[in-house]
Structure formats: structure tokens, C-alpha cells
Amino acid sequence: MSDPIIRECAYVLVHVPSFVRYGSKPTREIASSPEPLLPTIEAHLRSFKEAVEYPPNQVFIGNLHPDGLNDIEQPWYEHLLKGASRYGAYGEMMPEEEFFGLLKLADDFDLIWLEKQSAPFFRQKLQGNPFWKEMDLGKIDGGVDMERIQEKVSGGGSLPLYYRGQVVGCFHRHHDQDESLMAQVLMENLMAKASGALVLKHLLKRANVAPEGVDFILSCSEEAVGDRYNRGGGSLSKAIGEMCGCVNATGCDIKAFCAAPIYAIVNAAGLVKSGVFKRVAVVGGGCLAKLGMKFKGHVTNNMPILEDVLGGIAFLVSEDDGENPIIRLDSVGKHDIGSGSSQQSIMESLILKPLDRIGKKVMEVDKYATEMHNPEVTVPSGSGNVPLNNYRMIGALAVLRKEIDRSEINQFVAEHGMPGFSPTQGHVPAAVPFLGYAVDGIKRGEMHNAMFVSKGSLFLGRMSQLSDGMSFLIEGNPKKR
């Protein structure tokens, strides 16, 4: 049986400046700062238009190839793409007012109360979105008196919801003692569900597949859906699938820190290749906790807080159609428990070993996708240019293999790498933001193959000192040659 294919990819961004205050870092800093910090944060937030016109965001939704960033002067936030569209070849960028409606639509437990005047406004905004106008949006109606909202916020464990600086509702906890069902945790989970459903909807539309045609869903989102007896119990996958009408699918979640999307795609490919399922959707919703994660660096450098968006990623893995690029299952690279955590060990495990196995050289891979973090987010806070460092490391492997000279590393980076463009949402930058461009580039004959390499920081959970990672290579469909 042939290797499975990547049939379709979708990417979305959701602009949520009013939720930056609820990111993990801003929440902690606002609480502990001796000076009022919130006004400073609010003064550095971007408008929706500015976020849409921001070049890396245009790359993410499919309107500008990553290499196109090389031709745009930095800082990119000062060189906006005027008139850029919120809709892209791979998805869209959703404004906050539509997302409020989508959040309420995702809410099956009345966790959100929207204020009376605001509820119809958000419903109307979502109704204007072509992907949701056909849905029954009656759930968004209703609305609650402001007095009741304030009562819940002041003494009921609920968090106020803001839109353009005004309270427009609140988000409830669902148990007074269960830390897993606190308002902030449930907010994080519901935002992952809603943004995951948004990107899955785009995926199915792009693939021209009815929701009923999906067999299995794997979520690679970063959240911990569960309760006090089972933190991180999971199956956000099914909640997302339910919202999209995937009534014939079941699903489960893949947890592997930032490497989860690669693990999920490899698992999906294995399930398809084995014949267990024909169509497997991999989906990752956005991560509230990571909003404003580097805001201190951005504020210090007097630049906009760029972590004001949730990212969403989705991929449809299915049986070989003789057209789309295949995932070479003999190319899967893994970081073994006994491999060691040095960068060289990790890269050898994820790149050299699989390439040796399939008889390819480092230079025979047209493009490498690594952690695609936007450097404009990470450099101001001292975290470095992550993709550039990774590409230099891969180039160094080519030098060690005597495929290129040391002096050619920069050229290797320019030709086989690309600038980072992904929001720093953990799992979202994990190599896969380039998958859509790679699939299309291979189909158009502009490239032969691409390798996807992601790493995970298992040690952050304090259960092991191990690092992690996984990789795979896609290449042109052999039946098409």
C-alpha cells in the first residue's frame, strides 16, 4: 500500500488583544507589579488592521511565501502590507468581535455570559463570516444584565470579559474547589476548542470534504481539558469535531509538548497506512496561556505586543490519491530515550538518521522546516532567532558530512531555510506552518521534497530531564511522475 498523503492544510489566526491580559505571563505580572501595568499593556496593543497587515501574519494565512519576508525590511511591524486581506489561501484572520460569537457558540455549559447589548452585536458580527452564517447562532442571543455580571465577577469566581476596554460579559468557573474547572482554565480550553473548530472548518472546505466524511480526529492543541480527578483528561478532538459536524468521527488528543503536531501527523499517517481509518484530521487550536508571553521585551523596546493572536492549524491525512505529496513513513525521525539531549544528538536523530535510512544527503532536501517562531517576537526578549539557529545547526551537519564547506553555511540557510513567521504558540510553530506551502510547491513542481523537524521540551513538566522531537519528509507523489 502506498504511503498516505497530505491532502489539505489550513491555518487561521484569531486576533484577541482583549485577552492578552489573560495570558500566563501578563496575568502574573499584572498581579505582582507594584505599578499599574495594564495601561502599559493596553497602550502597546495593535488594531485588527495592523495585525492583518503584519507581514508574518500574511505568510501564516497563505498570502505571502515565507521567503518573501526576506524582501521586506525589518522591523516588519513598521513595514505593513497595506490593504492586505484578512482572508488567505490557507485560512483567515478572525477579528475579536467575531470570535466572541464563536466562543459563545462553542460554549455547551453556559460558561460565558454576554451582556445584553453586546450579545446581538457579536452574533451579528459572526453572522457576517461566510463560514458561520449558515449555522444556528441562536445560542449567542440572550444576554444578561450587567448587574448580574458584576455580581458574578465580584464574588462568584468569574472573570470579566473585555472588548475595546469595556466589560461585555464574564466567564464562569464550573466548580468552586476544582482547579481544573476554574474560569481561567476553562477559558483557555474553550478558546482552543473554538479556534480549533474554526481551522477545521477551513480545512474541510478547502479539501471539499463533508464533515461526515472524516473518520478520526487527532488534536495536538496545548491545553489540559479535564477535572480534578483527571487533569488533562483530553478529547478536545471530539469537542472540536462535534462543533464542525463530524458526526462519523471519533478522536483523541496527542500530547508531546511543542512537538505534538508532528507526532499527530505521523500517527495519522500510520492509521491511514494500516487501513484503520481512511481520512484523519489533525487539528490544533490556539493557546491563551501564551498570549503576551514576551510582552516585557516588546514594551521595553517600545514596539507592539506581537503575541496578540491565537494560532490554529489543521491537516487532512488520507489515502494516496496519486496527486498530493506523500508522507514517507520510512523517513520518520525520532528522538530515542537513550539518544541524549545535546543539540547535536537531537539533530542527528531527527535529520541524519532518517536521511541515511532513505539514502538522501542533507543537501538533497529542498527545504527544512524547523521551529518557525517569528524572530521579531523572540529577539527583543533575548530568546534569539530560533529558526536561524536551527538552520545553522543543520548546515553544520552538512559540513560535518563534508557535503558543503563551512563558508557555505549562510548560503545553505538562505536556500534550504526560511525566516520564521509563526506566532509563538508552542505547538503552532512546530515546523508545520510551512506544510501548506510545501505541498503546493511540490505539486507545482517548484520543489521535490521538504523535511519537517520539531522539538519538545519534556523537562518543563518536571517528570524527566529528557528533550524530545520528531521529523518526517514529504515528497512528490510517485504516481504523478
Partner 1 sequence: MFQGKKAIILGERDGVPGPAIAACLKAAGAEVIFAVTECFV
- Catalogue the E-assigned strands of 115-179: 159-163, 166-171
Total binding residues toward partner 1, as defined by CB under 8 A: 21
CB 339 within 8 A of CB 455: no
Instruction: Specify the residue, 237 or 422, whose C-beta has the smaller distance to partner 1.
Output: 422
Least distance between partner 1 and beta carbon 200 (Å): 26
Instruction: Specify the residue, 158 or 221, whose C-beta has the smaller distance to partner 1.
Output: 221
| Residue from 195, 378, 454, 471 in contact with partner 1 (CB under 8 A) | 378
Category of 228 on φ-ψ map: left (φ > 0), alpha (ψ -120 to 50) or beta: alpha
CB 413 within 8 A of CB 377: no
Contacts of 373 (CB under 8 A, 6+ apart): 386, 387, 420, 422, 424, 429
301 binds partner 1 (CB under 8 A): no
Instruction: Specify the residue, 135 or 470, whose C-beta has the smaller distance to partner 1.
Output: 470
Least distance between partner 1 and beta carbon 389 (Å): 6
Instruction: Specify the residue, 15 or 427, whose C-beta has the smaller distance to partner 1.
Output: 427
Instruction: Specify the residue, 359 or 382, whose C-beta has the smaller distance to partner 1.
Output: 382
Stretch that binds partner 1, among 50-58, 108-116, 173-181, 378-386 (CB under 8 A): 378-386
Stretch that binds partner 1, among 8-16, 138-146, 245-253, 335-343 (CB under 8 A): 335-343
Which one, of 41, 26, 1, lies nearest residue 276 by Cα?
1
Compute CA 292 distance to the chain's CA centroid, rounded to the nearest angstrom.
15
C-alpha cell at 148: 448580574
CA angle 282, 68, 93 (to 5 degrees): 45
324 binds partner 1 (CB under 8 A): no
Compute CA 411 distance to the chain's CA centroid, rounded to the nearest angstrom.
29
| Residue from 127, 184, 250, 457 in contact with partner 1 (CB under 8 A) | 457
Least distance between partner 1 and beta carbon 436 (Å): 22
389 binds partner 1 (CB under 8 A): yes
291 binds partner 1 (CB under 8 A): no
C-alpha cell at 185: 482554565
CB 251 within 8 A of CB 217: yes
Residues 240-259 that bind partner 1 (CB under 8 A): 258
CB 13 within 8 A of CB 307: no
Stretch that binds partner 1, among 27-35, 103-111, 350-358, 381-389 (CB under 8 A): 381-389
| Residue from 83, 138, 382, 461 in contact with partner 1 (CB under 8 A) | 382
Q: Is the dihedral of CA 435, 436, 441, 442 positive or negative?
A: positive
| Residue from 172, 373, 416, 427 in contact with partner 1 (CB under 8 A) | 373
Instruction: Specify the residue, 215 or 307, whose C-beta has the smaller distance to partner 1.
Output: 307
371 binds partner 1 (CB under 8 A): yes
Least distance between partner 1 and beta carbon 177 (Å): 31
- 186-190 long-range contacts (CB < 8 A, ≥24 apart) are 186/111, 187/22, 187/111, 187/159, 187/288, 188/223, 188/287, 188/288, 188/289, 189/223, 189/224, 189/225, 189/236, 190/103, 190/106, 190/107, 190/111, 190/112
Q: Site residues (CB under 8 A) for partner 1?
A: 258, 341-343, 371, 373, 378, 382-384, 386, 389-390, 424, 429, 455, 457, 459-460, 465, 467
